[in-house]
Chain A
Amino acid sequence: MIGSVFLETYRQTWKQMLYWGLGLSALGMLVVVMVPLFDMQQMRDLLESFPAFVLALVGVGDELEIFATNEGFVAIGFFGKSALIFAVYPVVMGMRITANDEDSGIMDVVLSLPVERARVIIEKFLAYAVSIIGVVLLIYLGLHLGALLGGVELDVGRLAEVTFYLVPLMIFVMAVTMFIGVVIRRRQVALGLITAFVIMSYMLQTIGTAGEGTVAETIGIVSFLTYYNAGDILSQGFIWPHIAGYALLSVVLLLASMHQYERRDIAV
């Protein structure tokens, strides 16, 4: 039955989605509640005193005005780092699409059923994508709750944009993980590669942000994290070309994974 793999995958995942969502939303709530403790003008002065490289490490570019607002504080305090923590979740889910089940031998049972390999991939991918949306939704609710509890005024629209921008970003990370898992049959090697990919991307983004106007900025272009800049989103709203880029690459990786998985032996 179409959708059965999707439903079962989701059933097996909702608890992790809940735990991750609650954990990250608690972190977000804490950051929001802390907003009244800081004087935003002092914050701006403090940021200006930092060298560019240090600012880059905390995810701040040249948009200091924005980061001296409540939303900007939340962006630095939460979104700058949470994206990296959150990236573990799509890596875990991406590994589950094929690599983990293949490694454990479960895939032999699944593929002995009347179901195409491509269908298994696409239904699992969609189920995990839905779980990513669930985590993001919980993060958003956590930020809101923090604002209510702390009496903090936040631009709901901008906050939603920054938060939900995480969805295409995380789905892209999951797609990369899935693709590596499909191409590299050994689970541990695949996991090592995707971890290196995420860490390298973070380093390149940091270098790129720190060295704006220099060759470092060009290097930063190749990092997928460069296109998730909380400051840019706060000032410009959704940056649709970036979202389209994540979506397009995710679809390409999904199709490539389906194609490759159809062709190769299932490992034991």
Chain B
Amino acid sequence: MLRRNASQESGSEESNMASGSVIATTGLTKAYGSGSQITLALDKLDLRVNQGEIFGYLGPNGAGKTTTIRLLLDLIRPSSGSATIFDMDVRAQSVEIHSRIGFMPGELSLWEGRTGLQIINYIASVRGDAKGIAKNADEIAERLQLDTSKRVRDLSSGNKRKLGLVLALMHEPELLILDEPTGGLDPLVQQTFHEMMNEYREKGKTVFLSSHVLSEVQAICDRVGILRDGDLKAVESVERLTHVEFHHIEVDFRDAIPAGLQEQLANMPQVSQLSANGNRISMRLVGDFDPLLRAIGAGYVELLRVEEPTLEDIFLAFYSDKEKAS
């Protein structure tokens, strides 16, 4: 069912291809090992990323996000399937593609003994137009409050990420590919980063970013693709996805759970996954808290715990609701 949803989403985007998807993959598969030791890192990925959108690529660690990005960059080669960027094959025309994209890896490694400025100048010289690019780099570094005169080995992990962002953005690429871009950045810089991405989108440019930070995805992405175990489970707009609102609730009573409370809660349509353990009662609550607070008022509440759902919870909820609806 989930697979069908994803396929339907992909299918509905065929028309977008005609209008020029920036990234398009067809049956993109990557397997490691051989014989009985084969590990499928990515399984028949069909994905379209449209021009001018910020596409969030989500999934837990090991889901295949970085594998997808490395395939798009021609760092690794697919076992089967194909991928295009700007309608060009990622392998055959990699140099031309790379001149139009900016990339920041999840685990950024740079030359430890070189200063930020030296690295900027080097990357700019490889890209050509070193002067123009270096000027842009200055502006971005200033905005991110990065001191480019320091050696990489003397930079904190957050400042290394900033340098990575400068390197990815300084040549004003048409497409940005960012792997976990804000990991290690402080909240203020994250905010600046979000502003920069929004400005980027306003210019009609495209961003493909992998993340497992829901707040980041909510703040800047137009659509998200959900990957798990190398399988694209769904592609949805952020608006639809975040419409599902629920919380995990735990209530600890000082005394025994009031008589009849469990039955009362079980009959409430907004409560699910109800369970009791000693004096504690746990549930998933959708929507407002008021009906729950009134129901538990009969007992003495010692502690009330409310947990935000994880990204995975939201997706599971989203698709189980979708299944029910269908």
A-side residues, CB < 8 A to B, are 1, 4-5, 7-8, 11-12, 104-106, 108-109, 111-116, 264-266, 268
Contacts and interface: CB of A to CB of B under 8 A. Distances in A.
Contacts of B77: 264-265
Contacts of A113: 98, 123, 126-127
B95 A114 contact: yes
Interface residues of B, number: 30
B99 interface: yes
Given A8-B122, A116-B95, 4 more contacts: A1-B125, A1-B126, A113-B126, A114-B127
B183 to A, nearest CB: 15
B146 interface: no
Interface string B78-103: 00000000000000001110110101
B114 interface: yes
Contacts of A266: 70, 75-76
Contacts of B70: 108, 266, 268
A265 B75 contact: yes
Given A12-B113, A104-B109, A106-B110, A112 B125 contact: no
Most buried by A among B70, B99, B113: B70
A235 to B, nearest CB: 45
A264 B74 CA distance: 10
Nearest to B101: A112
Nearest 3 Cβ contacts at the A-B interface: A105-B109, A114-B99, A265-B76
A122 B231 CA distance: 38
Nearest to B96: A114
B97 to A, nearest CB: 8
B125 A109 contact: no
Interface in B26-75: 70, 73-75
Contact of A1 (B76, B95, B128): B128
A102 to B, nearest CB: 10
Interface in B106-133: 107-111, 113-114, 118, 122-123, 125-128, 130
A109 B126 contact: no
A112 B125 CA distance: 14
B105 interface: yes
B26 to A, nearest CB: 20
A114 B167 contact: no
A1 B128 CA distance: 5
A265 B109 CA distance: 18
Interface of B: 70, 73-77, 94-96, 98-99, 101, 103, 105, 107-111, 113-114, 118, 122-123, 125-128, 130, 167
B126 A114 contact: yes
A110 B118 CA distance: 14
Most buried by B among A108, A112, A266: A112
Given A109-B108, A112-B101, A112-B103, A4 B125 contact: yes
24 contacts: A1-B128, A4-B125, A7-B125, A8-B122, A12-B113, A105-B108, A106-B110, A109-B105, A109-B108, A109-B109, A109-B167, A111-B73, A112-B101, A113-B126, A114-B95, A114-B96, A115-B95, A115-B98, A116-B94, A116-B95, A264-B77, A265-B75, A265-B76, A266-B75
Contact of B109 (A7, A106, A264): A106
A120 to B, nearest CB: 10
Contacts of B167: 109
Contacts of B109: 104-106, 108-109
Nearest to B103: A112
Contacts of B122: 4, 8
Nearest to B102: A112
A141 B101 CA distance: 48
Contact of A12 (B73, B114, B126, B128): B114
B96 A108 contact: no
Contacts of B105: 105, 108-109, 112
A169 B98 CA distance: 37
A48 to B, nearest CB: 51
A92 to B, nearest CB: 15
Contacts of A105: 105, 107-109
Contacts of A268: 70
Contacts of B94: 116
